[in-house]
Structure 1
Amino acid sequence: MKWTFFALLIYALFFATGQGGMEDPILQAFLSGEFGKLDPLVTMVFSFLGIFPFFWTALYFRSDQYAVPAWPFALLSFGLGAFALLPYLFFRKKEKKARPRVQNIGYALSSRWAMLTLLLITLFLYIYGLLFGSFIGYKEAFLQSSLVSVMTVDFLLLVIYSWWWIRKEAPGKEWLCFFPLSGALIACAISLRKDRQR
């Protein structure tokens, strides 16, 4: 898991397909607000990358009791995605504090209502992307845009990261990762419910 950070970094720097910077047509469409030019699948995945940080911030805040604080990595994930989350696995030490630093905030962010809200938004995005989007259109965007190329790899890594977390926190529920983001939200709700029953 840890070495996937370097794989993502190398891919983003040297192997990402399509145009980069302000020549990137998808980036231009996002910046100008011309969302009608974007394939709905592209919008779906891009939006997922905006929801994932809320999810990981809730989990990191809930269990932030290692020697190296988790909250800076969680907050940076809003802009950097897996680029910010994966390094934490390198820096985290096994020594634990008596209690998490910001546990109350973590539990608030991962509350039943917060997870339900994120899940409903995620399901809406699934409907929008899968019903109105095109895998051919997404492929074209992937080949044309460095942004789409990198965000796709970022998204896949976050799904793998979800599987790792689910295996650790909700054993036996690993199959939920086959439903990207929504499965992780459901697993979080299950884990939280178990914590409350202890």
Structure 2
Amino acid sequence: MNELKSILLAIWILFISYALFLAPINESDYSFLNQMFSLQYTDPLLIAVFSLLGIWPVVYCILLLENDRASIKAWPFALGSFVLGAFSLLPYFVFHIEKRRVTNRTPKQVQAILSNRGLYILLLLLTILIMAFGLYFGNFQIYSQAFMQSRFVHVMTIDFVVLTLLSMLGIAHHAYYLNERSKRLWWLGVIPIIGALLYLLITDARQREAEE
């Protein structure tokens, strides 16, 4: 586990260094960024990835805050991911230690929202629609060109990949407070967003069966 945390720390430092000093940038990058934030850019694949980065933080809030009982508070990192993405989440996975604290730091009202099966289904359907829109109507050539020329698209894409890989640890973290069967589902994290949501739906179904 210490080796994994060392790797994550190295990835965090390299990611920050790369984003600041090595990612491509040109004179039109800032106007391109404004177009993306206003959803005015014409390529649907770029819009899709940008939109999916808005769903990822909600998923991580569910994975980390439904049971916020580890050695350090998860909520600053989870909320920070809405702005900083993986830049905010990587330090949590580096420095936290799993503990089954008696008190859950997350208020019960928030827990009720985060454990809502309807929320999982809504996020899953929204993710599938956005992915289908981007893949069907998007142009991979335009995306690759933007990836090579724009720092924003470059970092955005890498952030999406890191969030996807990091979700395997997010699932394992969530499963730590459930049962051994749930831990076996960590591999679903390799499927962007959909995998984590499927994990949540499966564990929710198992919990319902156990309560009956």
TM score, norm. by length of structure 2? 0.82
Which of 198, 201, 204 in structure 2 is aligned with 1:186?
198
Q: CA deviation at 1:107?
A: 4.0
SS state of the match for residue 24, structure 1? helix
Q: Does the CA contact (< 8 Å) of 2:36 and 2:50 recur in 1?
A: no
Q: CA deviation at 1:6?
A: 1.6
Return closer, same or farther for 1:34/1:157 CA change in 2, 3 Å cut-off.
Answer: closer
Q: CA RMSD in A?
A: 2.2
Quick one: distance in 1 between partners of 2:164 and 2:156?
Answer: 12
In structure 2, the residue matched to 1:125 is 130
AA in 1 matched with 2:117: R
- Please tell me whether residue 137 in structure 1 is matched to residue 137 in structure 2: no
In structure 2, the residue matched to 1:90 is 94
Taking only the aligned residue pairs, the percentage that are identical comes to 36
Q: CA deviation at 1:34?
A: 5.5
Aligned residues: 195
In structure 2, the residue matched to 1:79 is 83
Instruction: Give matches, 1:2-81, under 5 Å.
Output: 2-3=8-9, 4-19=11-26, 23-31=29-37, 33=38, 35=40, 37-81=41-85
AA in 1 matched with 2:19: A
AA in 2 matched with 1:28: N
Return closer, same or farther for 1:110/1:38 CA change in 2, 3 Å cut-off.
Answer: farther
Cα deviation code 1:40-71 (max 9, x no counterpart): 11111111110011111122111211231111
Quick one: distance in 2 between partners of 1:34 and 1:153?
Answer: 20
In structure 1, the residue matched to 2:155 is 150
TM score, norm. by length of structure 1? 0.87
Q: Does the CA contact (< 8 Å) of 2:68 and 2:104 recur in 1?
A: yes
Q: Does the CA contact (< 8 Å) of 1:60 and 1:70 recur in 2?
A: yes
AA in 1 matched with 2:149: Q
Return closer, same or farther for 1:19/1:107 CA change in 2, 3 Å cut-off.
Answer: farther
Q: Does the CA contact (< 8 Å) of 1:64 and 1:101 recur in 2?
A: yes
Quick one: distance in 1 between partners of 2:111 and 2:156?
Answer: 26
Quick one: distance in 1 between partners of 2:143 and 2:115?
Answer: 32
Return closer, same or farther for 1:89/1:163 CA change in 2, 3 Å cut-off.
Answer: closer
Q: CA deviation at 1:161?
A: 0.7
Q: Structure 2: any 5+ residue segments left out of the alignment?
A: 176-181
